[in-house]
Amino acid sequence: MHSNNYKKIIIIGGGYGGLKVVANLAKYQNNQIILIDKNAYHFMQTDVYELIANEKDFAKVSVDLFTYCSGFNTNVSFYKQEVTNIDFENKKVSTDTNRFSYDYLVIAVGARTKFVPSIDGLQEYAHGVKALHRAMYFKQKFEMSLFKKVEESGATCKPLNIVVAGAGLSGVEIAAQMASFAKEFYCSNHFLCRKLNIVLVNSSQKILKGMDAFLVEKSQKRLLDLEIVIKCNVRVASLTEEHVTLNNGEIIPMDFMVFAGGIEPNGLIYKLDLQKNERGFLDINEFLQVNKYKDVFAIGDCATLYNNEQLIAPTADVAEQMADVCSENIMRLILKQEMKKHNIRSRGILIALGHGYAVGKVFKFYISGYIAYFMKKFIEKVYFIKLDRHSKKGCKKIFKQ
Ligand SMILES: Cc1cc2nc3c(=O)[nH]c(=O)nc-3n(C[C@H](O)[C@H](O)[C@H](O)COP(=O)(O)OP(=O)(O)OC[C@H]3O[C@@H](n4cnc5c(N)ncnc54)[C@H](O)[C@@H]3O)c2cc1C
């Protein structure tokens, strides 16, 4: 597509969705692309399970956004700033230090862990994994806890008690990965002190709510094989430094807890005077535009996506598909062409359940075991290499100057 009109496009959020829009639109030299993110890096949340298992360090689950954006032609720039508000009438984005004007805007700010305020002690004592600094802190605490048990040594050492609240995709992956890693860690090092209790607390009747029976049953079996205790139909009511109290009165000892019990929109979304659903996520139309403003699109976890009235679960894969539709529609608007309606569906899901094992559904096919694990790793690797190549190019350019 060619356009003679010079257009300024701002993308807020360098996550899975935002980066895909940057790459798609940067191809058109008449577009000036501005990416704004509060962090200097893109965080690959889908690879958190490998961070926990020490299979990757933080450098392998993040990509520097300055160097990534420098890898494009001069029409892409990156600003590490937090967007604090948007004036849709005057087409201005405000950050903590700047004001940018735009012709088209893409809101791709993702979501954050919902630390429910009514649960006493949650904010204070629980860990989240949706932000890199939190995931890093949690990983370090997990390793330190394992080390402390080794230090205590002897057959009489106390067990390490971990509670994971929330049995959706991230809670299930993290519980399985910790169990699998700790098992290998203690066994391969012949440590005497091996007792690790992982309790997975789930408010629904089954784990992985809303997913196909195959995925639920296979995952449940794997978690039980890894000796994880699953408690369904209960919620965390409160926590202290050492205990978690459930809403049925049960008290579970806890050395540390991971909270994966739900997501909520990021702070910026709360401030915007746009139509939202009952959970506060942005409503969008079939072209992925927000209500009222034709030049504003919302993609990824911060928006609610429906296909034929069916809610599409937010994933990295869906965020990237939304990015493709949104980029195409921006170009069509620029060229005064009719926009394209989306027909996005989940192309599949792969759930890592400890070293060498995953379950998944890819298009219509169910897979499990090492092949699923290998496929998940392969997809992640390809994604990382693509971004990394671009960053290398950007890095060379910067250091040449
Ligand atoms: C543990 C875990 C495992 C997962 N596994 C999978 C999986 O296997 N497969 C899968 O498809 N999905 C998986 N997901 C879900 C997937 O990570 C998300 O759906 C995906 O990250 C959404 O992409 P996004 O672009 O909408 O937002 P994000 O990737 O969250 O990016 C949002 C960006 O916006 C920035 N931002 C936020 N607010 C502001 C602001 N005010 N100003 C400037 N910048 C801002 C953030 O810094 C961030 O860089 C997993 C998630 C977790 C937590």
Measure 300 CA to ligand 1 centroid, in angstroms: 8
Question: Measured from the CA of 39, which atom of ligand 1 is nearest?
Answer: 47
> Of the residues 346, 365, 382, which one is the last residue of a structural domain?
346
Minimum CA distance residue for ligand 1 atom 20: 316
Provide the sign of the torsion angle of the four alpha carbons 351, 353, 354, 357, taken in this order. Answer: negative
Q: Each residue of 19-40: pLDDT tens digit?
A: 999 999 999 989 999 999 999 9
> Of the residues 261, 292, 311, which one is the last residue of a structural domain?
261
Q: How confident is the model at residue 155 (pLDDT cuts 50, 70, 90)?
A: low
Q: Is the pLDDT of residue 359 over 90?
A: yes
> Of the residues 261, 276, 311, which one is the last residue of a structural domain?
261
Q: Which among 6, 7, 8, 11 has a CA at the least distance from the CA of 323?
A: 11
- Gap between the Cα atoms of 322 and 204, Å rounded: 29
68, part of any domain: no
Measure 192 CA to ligand 1 centroid, in angstroms: 39
309, part of any domain: yes
Measure 154 CA to ligand 1 centroid, in angstroms: 42
The pTM of this model reads 0.94
Q: Each residue of 111-134: pLDDT tens digit?
A: 999 999 999 999 999 988 889 998
Contact 8, 34 (CB under 8 A): yes
Within 13 Å of residue 14, how many CA atoms lie on the same side as its CB? 28
Mutate to test the pocket of ligand 1, among 315, 321, 324, 359 (most ligand atoms within 8 A of CB): 315
Domain boundaries, position 305: 7-38+81-113+264-346
End-to-end Cα, the chain, rounded Å: 32
Mean pLDDT rounded to a whole number for the chain: 92
Strand, coil or helix: 270: helix
For the chain, counts of helices (H) and of strands (E): 10, 27
Cα three-residue angle 290-294-297, rounded to 5 degrees: 45
Looking at residue 194, its pLDDT comes to 61
How much is the average pLDDT of 308-322?
Answer: 95
Measure 295 CA to ligand 1 centroid, in angstroms: 23
- Whether residues 219 and 152 share a domain: the answer is yes
Q: Is the pLDDT of residue 1 over 70?
A: no
Strand, coil or helix: 258: strand
Contact 20, 113 (CB under 8 A): no
> Which token pair is 173?
């992956």
Question: Measured from the CA of 41, which atom of ligand 1 is nearest?
Answer: 49
CATH of the domain at 287: 3.50.50.60
Looking at residue 44, its pLDDT comes to 95
Q: Each residue of 37-52: pLDDT tens digit?
A: 999 999 999 998 888 7
How much is the average pLDDT of 78-93?
Answer: 98
Mutate to test the pocket of ligand 1, among 301, 344, 350, 367 (most ligand atoms within 8 A of CB): 301
Measure 258 CA to ligand 1 centroid, in angstroms: 18
- Whether residues 188 and 130 share a domain: the answer is yes
151, part of any domain: yes
- Whether residues 311 and 325 share a domain: the answer is yes
Q: Each residue of 178-215: pLDDT tens digit?
A: 899 888 877 776 666 667 899 999 999 999 999 999 99
* Count of domains forming the chain: 2
298, part of any domain: yes
373, part of any domain: no
Question: Measured from the CA of 318, which atom of ligand 1 is nearest?
Answer: 11
230, part of any domain: yes
- Gap between the Cα atoms of 401 and 390, Å rounded: 17
- Whether residues 126 and 197 share a domain: the answer is yes
How much is the average pLDDT of 139-166?
Answer: 82
Minimum CA distance residue for ligand 1 atom 44: 37
Question: Measured from the CA of 299, which atom of ligand 1 is nearest?
Answer: 26
Strand, coil or helix: 204: coil
Among the residue ranges 1-5, 114-118, 177-181, 292-296, the one predicted with the least confidence is 1-5
- Whether residues 196 and 108 share a domain: the answer is no
Looking at residue 263, its pLDDT comes to 93
Measure 301 CA to ligand 1 centroid, in angstroms: 7
How much is the average pLDDT of 73-79?
Answer: 92
- Whether residues 189 and 204 share a domain: the answer is yes
- Gap between the Cα atoms of 375 and 369, Å rounded: 10
Q: Is the pLDDT of residue 2 over 50?
A: no
Q: How confident is the model at residue 152 (pLDDT cuts 50, 70, 90)?
A: confident
- High-pLDDT (> 90) share of the chain, %: 78
Which residues have CB under 6 Å of ligand 1?
A: 12-18, 36-39, 45-46, 48, 82-83, 108-110, 129-130, 169-170, 173, 266, 268, 300-301, 314-317, 319, 350
How much is the average pLDDT of 292-311?
Answer: 96
360, part of any domain: no
Q: Is the pLDDT of residue 11 over 70?
A: yes
Looking at residue 56, its pLDDT comes to 86
Among the residue ranges 12-21, 157-166, 294-303, the one predicted with the least confidence is 157-166
Among the residue ranges 14-28, 140-154, 348-362, the one predicted with the least confidence is 140-154
Mutate to test the pocket of ligand 1, among 22, 39, 42, 46 (most ligand atoms within 8 A of CB): 46
How much is the average pLDDT of 232-237?
Answer: 97
Q: How confident is the model at residue 218 (pLDDT cuts 50, 70, 90)?
A: very high
Q: Each residue of 86-109: pLDDT tens digit?
A: 999 999 999 999 999 999 999 999
Strand, coil or helix: 371: helix
Q: Each residue of 318-334: pLDDT tens digit?
A: 999 999 999 999 999 99
Q: How confident is the model at residue 79 (pLDDT cuts 50, 70, 90)?
A: very high
